[in-house]
Structure 1
């Protein structure tokens, strides 16, 4: 289970549904860590390496752009395995090397997204996800910032942002409601790791709350 994996004290992840404003939060985390004199590596999932970015393209391509309307659908199990293939490459090539040299790694999504999207959203067995996490990742973030936002508000924010919504963005609201519940359940189960941020606030307030959560987390590490 993910709860048995060690939390790394320099790994931070940002999670949340569509339109939650992770870009604002990422900037706030980077600025605070840099201001304290730390090297910061920003990365994302799926992606983060050239090979993982190619897998990202397979995962998010809605099909119509490159293969026509009758494109082969991506099976939920295939989606999960591709996510972990990209994640394994990302962890091996970017995350672990940066952590080993003493940098802070801030990742736009990490393994919690698989529990929320492929687990809660697609209905896949969380124990299978946990086994893949144990075998291919082997660690949890020391801090996970969950940007929590009502699904309808999030969808309204993303409406019209991209003329070509990706495959996951094209899902229906009930899918994203399940994803949101999945994230919130994980946050409730691991309060020592998660900081839940009200993403319905204006961007400046979200950035302020994110910075405060990161600062409090850093201070707890110093006191420990």
Structure 2
């Protein structure tokens, strides 16, 4: 491409390389797009339906399985106690809302949350990376992990490798259940699943299981 300019009364030609104009236009377009994204206000985020309902109704529905003391437990009369209960009460006070407790089996908490039967889970729930596509997890407020429990008179069991073809008690859907399933085929474990960790430990005490895999705080309690 050629253009002409007049300088000192003489006509001179400047030779521009072919392609320089399209490149200049492209750079201008990119600069314009950058300016748009930098200076044009972004659209406001879409309101969260759950939070909007909580604010309007002044009620927060919390899904629980009250079988994990000292985090959460029901004394049999409907009275709840534990760390998770205290945390829920603090949240309710700060948000100026009332709590509606929704009792759900531990293994059904995620499904019930996705079905919008309650707004959040606060029930000694361990972090599960496989669930991050469907739910958001808070920061951890307790560090723990499953432990292998045997009776006091068992002097031969030091690990899962000593439990081949034997019964192992777990709480259905718990972190201990997940660990046991991970190693079930390798050690040919016979899993005995119970509704609560306490039931799993009672089965161990009665001799119905050779070991139990539960979280350490449940065992200490």
TM over 0.5: no
Structure with higher helix content? 1
Structure with higher strand content? 2
Task: Tell me the TM-score normalized by structure 1.
Answer: 0.28
Task: Tell me the TM-score normalized by structure 2.
Answer: 0.29
* Greater C-alpha Rg: 2
Greater relative contact order (CA < 8 Å, ≥ 6 in sequence)? 1
